[in-house]
Each structure stands twice: as C-alpha cells, then as structure tokens.
Amino acid sequence: MSDLDRNIVERAYARWAPIYDAVCGPVMVQGRRAAAQAARAVGGRILEVGVGTGLSFDDYDASTEITGIDLCEPMLAKARTKIASGRYPYVKDVLLMDAHAMSFADATFDCVVAQFVITLVADPEQVLSQCRRVVKPGGKIVLVNHLYSERGAAAAIERWAAKRTRNLGLRPEFPFARLVSWAQADRGARLIERRKIAPFGVYTLVCFERIGEGALAA
Ligand SMILES: C[S@@+](CC[C@H](N)C(=O)[O-])C[C@H]1O[C@@H](n2cnc3c(N)ncnc32)[C@H](O)[C@@H]1O
C-alpha cells in the first residue's frame, strides 16, 4: 500500500481542477516551459503523462503531436475545453488513463513528458517503467518537479509538510536519488540530464534516454 494511492490523488485533483490554472499556472510556468522545450527538441509524437488541465499546450507547436493522459476526469474536462477552442491543432487527444498501466503499444512515442507528476503518483518506479516502455529506443523521458532539498531549512520544512500534504496529492520529500535508483534497476534508460530551472532553482528538470535493445544486450 503506497502513501499516496490512486483514490487520494484522483480526489485531490478533482478538488484542484476548478482553481488549478489560477493557482498552479503562474508558479509552475518556468518548469513547464523548460520541460516542453526539451520535448520540442526531440519533436514528433509526444506523450504528456498527467496532462492535467492542459496548461502546457501553449508551450508546444506544430512540429509536435501531443497526446495527454490523466486519471482525473475534472482535470481532463478543462483540457478538453482548451482543445475545443481550436488553438491547439497539434494536440491529438487527451485520454482518461492511469500512468501505472498505459494501454499504448511499446515504443509508440518519441518523447514522454511528465510535468509535476512523478513525485505524486502511487508507484513512481512503475510509472517510470511504463514511460520507458512506451517511448522509442533513443527517445527521451523528460520530468520536471520540485525535488526534496536534502539539507537545510528547506529540507526540514519539506519533511514537516510531508504527511500534512498527502491529502492534497503531494509528496514534497521526494528525493532525486529515487529516480537514479529506478534507472539503475530498470537498465532500460540512462540519466542524461539533471538541471535546476532558473530563476529560483525551485524546480529540477531530469531527462532519461531509452536505451535500445542492442545496447542492452552488449
Ligand atoms: C500537479 S498536476 C500537474 C498537471 C500538469 N502536468 C501541469 O503541469 O500543470 C498532477 C496531475 O497528474 C495527474 N495524475 C496523478 N497520478 C496519475 C496517474 N497515476 N496517472 C495519470 N495521471 C495522474 C493528476 O490527476 C494531475 O492532473
């Protein structure tokens, strides 16, 4: 049993949905843009895991084809309203789907992006393995999140907030080391980038590359 299960997360984001764009739009914009920029550099078919209300749609262009998934219907309803405006012809679809069990075929996407998602799913390692499965060999998995500060006052606050924010669907004490351990255990992806996002360095962008079958056998 995880500290954050599917029901807690689904209920939390159903409550967030009406106010999400106003509250989380401006404060997370730099992280969102950095992740979308990294995904655009790959181009082609891009999967947005935990697409939410579709705040990232503005950060893509016609060089990409975006598919989004999310497990929270009220968040997706907001994304569908944005699609219906006609401003995002490069957004192919948004689907109600749990990232722990994606129904896409192996190697469907050129890039998988998860913006402010991996730290709050029930089983981050399982979701990462699903991301690796659905991305093509040589493709990228781009994550952006606030990660655990590890030391100092910020780390103490995050530890204090940990249990108190579970019902909001948050896990503020999620360490970078957990992502590294996943890649080492999975062996199907390698870490290629870790960088703090300017101007404040609150968010970290982490990028993995899927290793091809040939490289794994070697
Ligand atoms: C903090 S919001 C981020 C939304 C969007 N990526 C953004 O940057 O604004 C997290 C989103 O992940 C979704 N989510 C959480 N767990 C999920 C899962 N297992 N499968 C799919 N989506 C999930 C939530 O419903 C929510 O919409």
pLDDT (tens digit, 0 to 9) for every residue of the chain, 218 residues total? Answer: 467 788 888 998 999 999 999 999 999 999 999 999 999 999 999 999 999 999 999 999 999 999 999 999 999 999 999 999 999 999 999 999 999 999 999 999 999 999 999 999 999 999 999 999 999 999 999 999 998 777 777 878 878 777 777 777 778 778 999 999 999 999 999 999 999 998 878 899 999 999 987 665 54
Report CA(143)–ligand 1 centroid distance (Å).
12
pLDDT at 216: 54
Name residue, tokens 């390692």: 125
pLDDT at 165: 74
pLDDT at 1: 46
State which ligand 1 atom lies nearest to the alpha carbon of 75: 27
Residues in the chain: 218
Closest Cα to atom 11 of ligand 1:
50
Does residue 12's CB lie within 6 angstroms of at least one atom of ligand 1? no
Report CA(40)–ligand 1 centroid distance (Å).
20
State which ligand 1 atom lies nearest to the alpha carbon of 76: 27
* Ligand 1 pocket: which of 7, 8, 9, 82 to mutate (most atoms within 8 A of CB): 9
Question: How is residue 46 written in tokens?
Answer: 């891009």
Report CA(210)–ligand 1 centroid distance (Å).
22
Strand-pair partners of 144: 115, 205
Does residue 120's CB lie within 6 angstroms of at least one atom of ligand 1? yes
The answer to whether 120 and 170 have CB atoms below 8 angstroms apart is: yes
The order of strands in the sheet holding 44-49 is 91-96, 64-70, 44-49, 109-115, 135-145, 204-210, 189-196
* Integer CA distances (angstroms), 66 to 52, 95, 113, 115, in order: 13, 11, 10, 14
State which ligand 1 atom lies nearest to the alpha carbon of 121: 16
